[in-house]
Amino acid sequence: MAGAGGRRWRELLAGRARKRKSAFGSEAELREAALHLLDRHQNLSDLLLEVEDSAKPSGQGGAEQHEVPSESFMASVLQEQASRLGVPAVTLAARNTVTNIERICRAPASPSQVPLLDSAQRERLSALLQTVKGLLVDNVFCRSLFCQELWKMKEPPVLEAVWHLHRADIVGLAELLESSPVAPAAVEWLCQSLRGLCGHMEKSCGDTESCGDTELARRLLSDFAIVFLQNGFEQTSELGRKLEFQKVPYICRAVLQRMLAWVLDAVGKEKQEDVSTLRAMRFWLNIFDVSVYRSAVQPDSLQQFFRHTLTEVLTYNPLLKVSDAIHMQKEWSFTRTCPLLTTLYRKLLVAFSVQESICQLQQVLETHEVNWQHVLSCVSTLAICQAEAEQLFKDLLSHLLIKAFENYDMENMITAFLIARQAALEGPAVFMPYSEWFKASFGNAGGHHGSSKKALVFLFEFLSELVPFEAAPYLKVHIMYPPFVPAKHRSILLEYITLAKTRLADLKVAIEDMGLYEDLSAADEAVQPQGQALRDVEKALQIFENTRKIPTSVIEASIFRRPYYTSWFLPALLRPRVLPKAPDMRMALIDSLKRADKIPSNLYSTYVQACRAMREKMLQDESKAEANHPKEPVEQLKAELAALRGLVVDQAKHEDVPAQIAVISDRLAGVWGHSSEDKEAAAPNSPIHVEVSAPRLEPCHQSVVDLLLTSFCQNLIAASYFNPPDRQGPCLSLFVKMMCGHRNLLPALLGRLCQLIYHQGPSLNDAHILGLAAFVTHLSESRALIPEVEADFGISQPAPEKVLSVSEFWNRLLVCRTEESFAFCMRFCTAAASYLMCKFSSYSHEDLCALLPPSLLKKLQYIVPRLCVEARGPLHEEDTAELTWSSLSSPSLNYQRASLCLWKQARFQELLKEKAFQLSFREWLLLELEVYPAKDILSASERREFHYWAIYQWYLPAPSASGGCDGDLQKACGVIINAILDSSQRLDLGSCGQSKASLNPDILCKLQEMVLELRCRWKPLSGCSDAQGHFLFEILQERLKFGEHGSALGQQLWRQQELLQHRRVLVRLPAAALVMAHHKGKKTTLDCEGFFHFVNTELKNICSRGYALSYDITAHFFRGLLNASLDCEEPAAGVNDVLAACQSKCPTVLLSAALWWPRLEPVLCSQWRRLFGAPLAEELERLQEWQSWAAGFLSSGAVFPLSGPPWILAAFLHRTARQQPLCGRGRSALKRLGTDTEQLLVSLLFFSLMDLISAKIAPKEGVDFQTSLEWSLEILQCLEEKGMSWPLLFHPAEQGPGTYGVLRSAASERHTRLLPIAFYSLTPCFHHELLTCEQTFLRVALESYTQLLQLFLEGKDLPGSDQTRHSPDPAEWEDPLELISTARRFLLAAILRCPARSFGSIRPLLATCEELDAELAAALRHASGPSMAMELDEELDLFA
């Protein structure tokens, strides 16, 4: 009760106490007087509000006033008043309390109720509740009577007032609801109040003054939701203590049901609903936050509530038919679904694991009639928001199909198809395309439909029933990739295809107008032919750019799909435009099609004229040039990316990230175009082509990729400011996965990464490097979504390295060759590994190993010890350190310290123990061989120190299991040699395909040291000198044995290149290493068997002259022989034994010495004098003598006696004759040789023929064709004049110890195969007498002809027109066909002149000749008929 001036009762009492001394002797007298006063001036309702501060210290003098026990006082007042009125005190208290609440809740400014109180109302209500609490203590307040009085109010109380009663524990909400006289009325009041509360919150949204109200409303809603759950979804264990509540469970469930229906009704009418209403409903959805109930509700009750709600949503208002779902489901994808519904799903699904969610979905589908819109929206939400959902959906689909075919149940079939299509709508990053699922399920004999004809008929009946409702893309999938059908049931399939084509015709979609690269996995309605044609053109341009050939699909369309090609594809390709000055890909493709007669002339002329007109128009008004791409979609993408950043930095909003990324994916599809990539018609896993040396990106594509990469980096930096990577949620991972799902984005993305990492890496700042490192880490995480990469580094390369995984691809981009590239690579790899280990720190060791790209750790194992000396020693426990993400993202980052810190991490060292992550000796060498010593980050001395540590202290003693050599020096040499050769074969990426000029001198120096050390330790046992026992040649021959496999020509070229590298390595090793020393007792012998074998089988085949090694390897061998002879007791004898053995074991060495003797002689003589100071060894002196004989014979005209093998003398004579111009004296000199020189002349002819062949196949060697031909003809004429036989020189069977055998064994295999060319080059000199005097001539001629034909048919070795064009004198050359024609004419003429006895030896060749030239074979048979019959009669006589 207020006194004058609005002062309160207690203030009045206090004021009077200060003014005069109390007249009452005791407290009882004072109480009695007060009651008397109240009895005369009583307002009990106001009195209840006067007890808020029962004891308050005086503001003056610090004296505390006398306390009045207000609670007992108020109880006394109530009891006194009740006794006067004749009612119970509790009834009076209840009525007066309700009256006060009613007065407080009535808003003075508005006659209608508002859901919340203002501050004055809250203050008055708080005072009232304080009083009521005192009455409860004094037992003068009854809750049940109070509840009854509340329900009698004219207007229900404001919701906040009820909440305060509940919070103050005066009357709980459950007790209040139980006392409701009419339960439906209570439900209506609660629902109306709750909707009003949500609406009020929406209106006050954005008002800073209402922030307190918003928080209060959230608490109110949470408390009420807890009551609803505790009473509406009580467990069995709770029933005993809640038996007193009969109405509450019904009311709580009814309220939740009504409010859910309020939301779901709005979902169905989203476009008609007001935005404010939708926001109000979103506020109500806060009751589905699991965090609200964590400690207040039992987990089982919570699960029951969420499960019940999910079921209610999925089954709410099931009016849509299956046909509606088939037609409309594309509108129910995640990004198109009402946000209210997706928000509800995301909140509900938090309460379950993914398995539980899908099980619940499956259970509802099996037991209820469902709302297909809600079900399929739920599928999309699960697929987007749960990474594990894809496999579980596949399992569910498999289960549904099994049940469908077991019971021939259409419901399970349609459910499976709808779910598969809905999940596929979300893109390949989320679920496999529908076409792939359909092919996987029905495209083979093992499908569910393949068990019986009944199952097959069931499938096609089902598909046929779908046809009237199907969209065109799905029908196209069924037609293009039909179910597997046995041949005997083919009619069933054809019937369905006819039906589907009819439906396509009704949809005005002709299968004939189907695009060349149409995306059959798209769920949109059929694209119009002109739109699809534009996509086809883009794809064709992409293929043409990669292959430089007209795509096969375009060629086929021009023949088999002529209407689409001429009506749609060509007009799309020939759209008029302003042609660029430099021809682009489109112009090149048009030109190629024009030259192939694939573009009609009139259409092409119209196109050219239209382009000219457009150029003129552009010149007239350049300002009106249209932009290629509208800005609006890009701006939308930017806005969504910005919204994502707000979610990333707020850990409480991480659950909203998957939904936002789905929206970004949708916007990205709008910017990029849905696809110029066909996931079905073209192989979906076809490699992505990237031109590493010069990646080309369209400006519009680069801007979009840069936008995405920038967004990723900004999100990473922003998130790292608040949290380390392991607490940043799945945002970045989902973002990269989303990008990988856009298959047509990947070429541009990888091309841009190539530009940034490979070309611009050293110029990037730390923030860029950190962002890119994290990006490629997530790219490797999503590697299953990325096809292999076909990296084009500028020149051809071995096939195994050309197609790379995405992890291998970006590892290949991280080159370590120069100071700048080493620094960048260290920064990048350190950032990537640190981010990965911080991001996935909770992973087990096995999971982390499965995630880590091995190449990343191997690169770090190479770089860190190379640049940080501290990393080379063993780590001790006190050295281990933990790398914190904050230190890595610090602006003042020192990457060398960071790398060392990472290296010392205990977990990092544990990873390095895994075999898959260990950098082997070979891998280390390959990396080191790529370094440019002149530009290395290490100085020469630092590099030598590092090499010594790596080779001798790390890899040489390390076990082979960890990539080492087990302490085996010979094994280490083998690894180095193989690495050097592999490095020579690999691409030199740093110079865009240009090979390095020389081998790495430092590595080569270490190899030379090891080989010398090994040679010092060679002590083979007596008698164990094996022909292939030399380890160097074993290594080289092993490489050739397991070399490249491919075409015959490719294998041949690879082998030649490999042998050239072998020779290159051999001549850089210590010369003495080519020769082994054997100790037999006290005698030491030299063993060159390994070298001889290698020469005979391999090295001789890369001799351009056909019979001699190159000078470098020849000189190297002889120097090594002289050096090795130092180990012998008699060096000269050792050299003599080796050179004498050469005559029979390796004549190529001696022929090489003869060819190079003028250069070789001074070197060997000088070395011999330095080593021994004695006369030359006998065999070396003989070489000198043979050279002197050849020179003297040709210069002086004297006849010297022959002393030596004729073929060696012929070699010296041939080399001397070629160096001295004979000026017509050649034949006269040859005539002086006498009559016993047949072998010498034949050998001389052989060497001349080798030169003749060399001039054809290697004109750059300086051998003149015409000179060689003339010299050969002079030798041949001399042989004929002396009556000496020579044709057997061309006989392939002449392999043996004789002169012919020695010559053929010394020649290269290629030169030997090309001897038929030399033979028929000599035909102008052949005389008729030769046919009669040489019985074997016809056989040799026929054999040479068949070999010539075989060479031509095999397409190898035979010199062709390409070489003819490069010849300095085209007159010297013949076309292969012309040469064969000449040979054939010669043979046909010779057949008529040969004596009968010549035909006896050709019978084994007739079968081969019949296959190659039937006409010639017939002529041979005709000419040889009588003689063969005569020989047959003689054979019969022998057996008579």
Structure tokens at 1354: 């095999």
Check residue 998 and give its pLDDT: 63
Q: How confident is the model at residue 26 (pLDDT cuts 50, 70, 90)?
A: low
Instruction: Answer with the residue of higher pLDDT: 60 or 1150.
Output: 1150
Check residue 680 and give its pLDDT: 35
CA 436 to the chain's CA centroid: 20
Check residue 256 and give its pLDDT: 93
Q: What would the pLDDT profile of 1167-1217 be if each residue is shown by its tens digit? A: 999 998 888 999 999 999 898 888 888 777 666 666 788 899 999 988 888
Q: What would the pLDDT profile of 331-370 be if each residue is shown by its tens digit? A: 898 888 888 999 999 889 888 889 999 999 999 999 889 9
Residue 1075, amino acid: V
In angstroms, the CA 475 to CA 496 distance is 10
Q: What would the pLDDT profile of 194-239 be if each residue is shown by its tens digit? A: 998 888 877 665 554 556 788 888 899 999 999 999 888 876 555 4
Identify whether the C-beta of residue 1187 lies closer than 8 Å to the C-beta of residue 1161: yes
Nearest Cα neighbor of 1277 from 1288, 1269, 1266, 1267 is: 1269
Structure tokens at 1062: 């072998």
> Is residue 619 packed enough to be buried (19+ CB in 10 Å), middle (13-18) or exposed (0-12)?
exposed
Q: Read out DSSP for 326-381? A: HHHGGGGSTTTS-HHHHHHHHHHHTTS-HHHHHHHHHHHHHHS---HHHHHHHHHH
Mean pLDDT value of segment 745-754: 91
Check residue 799 and give its pLDDT: 38
Nearest Cα neighbor of 1179 from 1215, 1213, 1135 is: 1135
In angstroms, the CA 793 to CA 791 distance is 6
Instruction: Answer with the residue of higher pLDDT: 1002 or 1423.
Output: 1002
Backbone angles phi, psi at 1087, to 5 degrees: -120, 115
Q: What would the pLDDT profile of 704-733 be if each residue is shown by its tens digit? A: 999 999 999 999 988 888 888 888 888 899
Cα–Cα distances in angstroms (integers) from residue 300 to residues 293, 306, 662, 983, 1323, in the given order:
11, 10, 32, 65, 103
Q: Is the pLDDT of residue 945 over 90?
A: yes
Q: Is the pLDDT of residue 36 over 70?
A: no
Residue 722, amino acid: F
In angstroms, the CA 1276 to CA 1269 distance is 10
Owner of token pair 């030379």:
1008
Q: Read out DSSP for 709-741? A: HHHHHHHHHHHHHHS-GGGSTTHHHHHHHHHHH
Structure tokens at 653: 């909003």
Helix (H) or strand (E) holding 790: strand 789-792
In angstroms, the CA 91 to CA 140 distance is 9
Q: Is the pLDDT of residue 889 over 70?
A: no
Q: How confident is the model at residue 68 (pLDDT cuts 50, 70, 90)?
A: very low
Check residue 251 and give its pLDDT: 92
Mean pLDDT value of segment 3-18: 46
What's the CA dihedral at 1078, 1081, 1084, 1085 to 10 degrees?
-60
Q: What would the pLDDT profile of 576-626 be if each residue is shown by its tens digit? A: 888 877 777 888 888 888 888 888 888 888 888 888 887 777 666 544 434
In angstroms, the CA 422 to CA 420 distance is 6
Check residue 1155 and give its pLDDT: 92
Question: b/e string for 1052-1065 if b means 16 or more Cβ within 10 A?
Answer: eebbeebbebbbbb
Q: Is the pLDDT of residue 257 over 60?
A: yes
Q: Is the pLDDT of residue 519 over 80?
A: no
Identify whether the C-beta of residue 1157 lies closer than 8 Å to the C-beta of residue 1219: no
Helix (H) or strand (E) holding 688: strand 688-691
Check residue 1023 and give its pLDDT: 43
Instruction: Answer with the residue of higher pLDDT: 383 or 108.
Output: 383
Cα–Cα distances in angstroms (integers) from residue 333 to residues 422, 949, 1168, in the given order:
7, 61, 89
Lowest-confidence segment of 682-696, 973-987, 1263-1277 by average pLDDT: 682-696
| Secondary structure class of 816 (helix, strand, coil) | coil
Check residue 313 and give its pLDDT: 94
For helices 275-284 and 339-349, angle between their N-to-C axes, nearest 10 degrees? 10
Check residue 1046 and give its pLDDT: 60
Check residue 710 and give its pLDDT: 93
Nearest Cα neighbor of 1270 from 1213, 1321, 1344, 1194 is: 1321
Q: Is the pLDDT of residue 679 over 50?
A: no
Mean pLDDT value of segment 1254-1274: 81
Lowest-confidence segment of 564-568, 755-759, 931-935 by average pLDDT: 564-568
Q: How confident is the model at residue 1029 (pLDDT cuts 50, 70, 90)?
A: low
Helix, strand, coil shares of the chain as percentages rounded to 5? 70, 0, 30
Check residue 1067 and give its pLDDT: 92
For helices 1089-1097 and 1131-1145, angle between their N-to-C axes, nearest 10 degrees? 30
Q: How confident is the model at residue 450 (pLDDT cuts 50, 70, 90)?
A: confident
Check residue 1353 and give its pLDDT: 80
Identify whether the C-beta of residue 1243 lies closer than 8 Å to the C-beta of residue 1303: yes
* Edge-first strand listing for the sheet containing 803-804: 688-691, 789-792, 803-804
What's the CA dihedral at 260, 261, 266, 268 to 10 degrees?
120
Q: Is the pLDDT of residue 322 over 80?
A: yes
Helix (H) or strand (E) holding 1084: strand 1083-1087
Q: Is the pLDDT of residue 796 over 60?
A: no
Q: How confident is the model at residue 1025 (pLDDT cuts 50, 70, 90)?
A: very low
In angstroms, the CA 511 to CA 482 distance is 14
Check residue 921 and give its pLDDT: 95
Mean pLDDT value of segment 1142-1152: 92
Cα–Cα distances in angstroms (integers) from residue 810 to residues 698, 796, 856, in the given order:
21, 19, 9
Check residue 16 and give its pLDDT: 44
- With the C-alpha atoms ordered 1171, 1174, 1178, 1183, is the resulting torsion angle positive or negative? positive
Mean pLDDT value of segment 1278-1306: 75
Name the most confidently modeled range: 46-60, 520-534, 1180-1194, 1259-1273. Answer: 1180-1194
Mean pLDDT value of segment 938-964: 92
Q: How confident is the model at residue 512 (pLDDT cuts 50, 70, 90)?
A: low
In angstroms, the CA 967 to CA 1350 distance is 52
Structure tokens at 196: 């009003």
Mean pLDDT value of segment 269-274: 69
Check residue 1258 and give its pLDDT: 79
* Percentage of the chain exceeding pLDDT 90: 26
* Entry field: residues in the chain: 1440
Mean pLDDT value of segment 1361-1372: 40
pLDDT, mean over the chain: 80
Lowest-confidence segment of 100-104, 541-545, 779-783, 969-973 by average pLDDT: 541-545
| Secondary structure class of 849 (helix, strand, coil) | helix
Nearest Cα neighbor of 646 from 636, 637, 635, 657 is: 657
Lowest-confidence segment of 406-420, 894-908, 1016-1030, 1407-1421 by average pLDDT: 1016-1030
Identify whether the C-beta of residue 1108 lies closer than 8 Å to the C-beta of residue 1099: no
Helix (H) or strand (E) holding 415: helix 410-425
Structure tokens at 753: 């990464």
Q: Is the pLDDT of residue 69 over 50?
A: no
* Percentage of the chain exceeding pLDDT 70: 80
The 3-state secondary structure of 137-161 reads HCCCCCHHHHHHHHHCCCCCCCHHH
In the 8-state DSSP scheme, what is residue 3? -
Check residue 1043 and give its pLDDT: 64
Nearest Cα neighbor of 151 from 85, 229, 89, 94 is: 94
CA 6 to the chain's CA centroid: 81
Check residue 576 and give its pLDDT: 85
Lowest-confidence segment of 57-66, 548-557, 575-584, 1398-1407 by average pLDDT: 57-66
Structure tokens at 848: 């982390």
Q: What would the pLDDT profile of 1067-1091 be if each residue is shown by its tens digit? A: 999 998 899 888 777 788 898 999 9
- Residue 733: CB atoms within 10 A of its CB come to 19
In angstroms, the CA 1030 to CA 562 distance is 67
Instruction: Answer with the residue of higher pLDDT: 114 or 1428.
Output: 114
Q: What would the pLDDT profile of 461-482 be if each residue is shown by its tens digit? A: 999 999 999 888 888 888 878 8
Instruction: Answer with the residue of higher pLDDT: 1364 or 788.
Output: 788
Q: Is the pLDDT of residue 633 over 50?
A: yes
| Secondary structure class of 1241 (helix, strand, coil) | helix
467: left (phi over 0), alpha (psi -120 to 50) or beta: alpha
Structure tokens at 8: 């309160």
Backbone angles phi, psi at 481, to 5 degrees: -130, 70
| Secondary structure class of 791 (helix, strand, coil) | strand
Q: Is the pLDDT of residue 279 over 70?
A: yes
Identify whether the C-beta of residue 893 lies closer than 8 Å to the C-beta of residue 887: yes
Q: What would the pLDDT profile of 921-943 be if each residue is shown by its tens digit? A: 999 999 999 999 999 999 999 99
- Residue 851: CB atoms within 10 A of its CB come to 15
